[in-house]
Amino acid sequence: MSLQAVSPLVARRVFLANLVAQIGIVVTGGLVRLTDSGLGCDTWPRCDSDTSDWTPHQAVSHHAYIEFGNRMLTYVVGAIAVACVVAAYRLTVRRKDITTLAWIQIGTVVGQAVLGGITVLTDLHPMAVASHLLLSMLLIASAVALYERGGEGDAPARLLVRPEIRWFGYGTLAVAAALIVIGTVVTGSGPHAGDLKAKRFDVDIDQMAWLHADLAFLLLGAAVALALALRVTDAPAAAQHRVRWLLAVLIPQGLIGYVQYFNGLPEWMVLTHMLGAALTVVTATRALFGLRVRGEASPDTETDDLDTELREPVATSY
């Protein structure tokens, strides 16, 4: 990227690429685990503890190449995170919130690399694996925040809904977070450990799965209630649309969860479920951002129909 000033339009495209990359590495990380390739490279930062090689060699199995490929993707994600920082500092109007969120991208990517190394060095201990995934979800949420803030102004936040509805939005996001945490426990006690010798959580997987299902129903109910609350209070169409997107993710995600549970957790369904978890974080976070605005975006900032509608006057019927 050149050292010339970067327009908000270009910066926001970089921020979007960062979000897509964060979702992508969650999927590839799931592929590593589902192919039992978590210890394909049995040490870190090198790949082979016996030969001290940094890269796989011809004598190793395909698991090493799968694990090493996922490691290499970290550099791609890291490069995009660096691009976010450069774009944030080269904006035509530099903003502290944007630069802070951009630096968070780099910090968490570095943290992910270190935590990934700890995961390998502990032979895929389920707590390390769960922490690795949860940090990815936090990184996705922060990437959404960076993208959202890049598309709006810097004025004080102005609510588009009743204050209690926004608090209900926070509660919905909290339920989504709890759902994902319990989901990592279910994964950590199930058959897909990333390696045949990896440890598992000493819990009843059926009980954890049903607790996970209960939280899924709670989240779905909260999202439906939020959609109805926005509807009856004449909230802006864009805010309602974002909650409908959340519902559009939650319904098939729940169906996939049930089908995979009763069919022995087939790998492709588990991978799809992981993608759904990442999209749940994206849509839940965007729904919360859609409940308020911070003034007009810069004229050359990329907008979509949602952004345009969010800048419409707030209904005064309540």
pTM here?
0.86
Task: Kindly report, residue by residue over 165-185, the tens digit of the pLDDT.
Answer: 999 999 999 999 999 999 999
Which helix (H) or strand (E) covers residue 176, if one does?
A: helix 163-189
Under the banding of pLDDT at 50, 70 and 90, the label for residue 317 is very low
- Would you say 259 and 269 are in contact if contact means Cβ atoms under 8 Å apart? yes
Contact 250, 220 (CB under 8 A): yes
Token pair recorded at residue 220? 């779905």
Contact call for residues 13 and 305 (beta carbons, < 8 A): no
Contacts of 130 (CB under 8 A, 6+ apart): 184, 185, 187, 188
Q: Is the pLDDT of residue 277 over 90?
A: yes
Tell me if residue 67 falls in helix, strand or coil.
helix
Q: Which of 49-53, 79-83, 117-121, 129-133 has the lowest mean pLDDT?
A: 49-53
Tell me the mean pLDDT in the region 195-206.
78
The whole-number pLDDT of residue 285 equals 96
Q: What is the pLDDT of residues 44-101, one digit of tens each?
A: 777 776 666 666 665 456 677 777 778 888 889 999 999 999 999 998 888 899 999 9
pLDDT of residue 314: 39
**Residue 237 above 60 pLDDT?**
yes
Average pLDDT over every residue of 264-289: 92
